[in-house]
Amino acid sequence: MITLRKSRERGHAQHGWLDSFHSFSFADYHDPAHMGVGNLRVINEDRIAPGTGFGTHGHRDMEIVSYVLDGALAHKDSMGNGSAGGAHAGVIRPGDVQRMSAGTGVMHSEFNHSQDQTTHFLQIWLLPRHRGIEPGYEQKHFDAAAKRGRLALVASPDGRDGSVTIHADASIHAGLFEGVERAQLSLDPARPGYVFLVRGELHVNGHALQAGDALRLDRETSLTLEQGRDAEVLVFDLAA
């Protein structure tokens, strides 16, 4: 069974410095029919105005994946990332996938230091396999060639194929499609899936999607992506 959700049906919050669309219930947006899919709890499409950002705040027991589309996002946390001498510079740009495991607790901030460019990114939250794990951070770059006309694995429980490792029973693929480019993916019908079209236009299992549209997949065995026009897509394989 395939359920289409149009972009305009998402929750929306306009805070001046932050323009955010919520695929699932989040903050002041609450819809009992859209609380998440499987262990996927949040897909927020955020645009942060120049010179602004999220101040220091905390998270616990959540796997948080950030995927930047335009601009740059400076990350700083209580693990030392983004600080002088820290393990990671903490700045993510288009093509980067960042994973933060909140575990027992992390304080962090996210900021757009540009004075003239909006930062456009996706904030994705997944429930971890286990609560109370040690906090962690990972960041990898996936260039356009790696995603062109195919679904590249960018996040997985075991870090296979060069993906970032998430402590959750879920995998995320990313792809870019234009014209005759086409890709197929086998699905486990016992697991829910979710397709989110980041931008452009794309046909997925016969459904015509536009930017911000999504498909929920239940008991499906395969996925076909084709007829893209400047399309960028994320595909989620999720725990039941």
Mean pLDDT, rounded, for 95-115? 93
* pTM of the predicted model as reported, rounded to 2 decimal places: 0.95
The closest alpha carbon to 211, from 180, 234, 240, 181, belongs to 234
* CATH number of the domain encompassing residue 92: 2.60.120.10
The closest alpha carbon to 213, from 64, 23, 33, 67, belongs to 23
Q: How many CA atoms lie within 13 A of 11 on its CB side?
A: 19
When divided into structural domains, the chain yields a total of: 1
Q: Is 184 helix (H, G, I), strand (E, B) or coil?
A: strand
Residue-wise pLDDT for 162-180, tens only, equals: 999 999 999 999 999 999 9
**Dist CA 13 CA 44 (whole Å):** 10
Provide the CA 40 distance to its chain's centre, in angstroms: 10
**Distances, alpha carbon 92 to alpha carbons 4, 133, 235, in Å:** 31, 24, 21
Q: 52: domain range?
A: 2-238
Residue-wise pLDDT for 33-69, tens only, equals: 999 999 999 999 999 999 999 988 999 999 999 999 9
Mean pLDDT, rounded, for 112-118? 94
Residue-wise pLDDT for 203-212, tens only, equals: 999 999 999 9
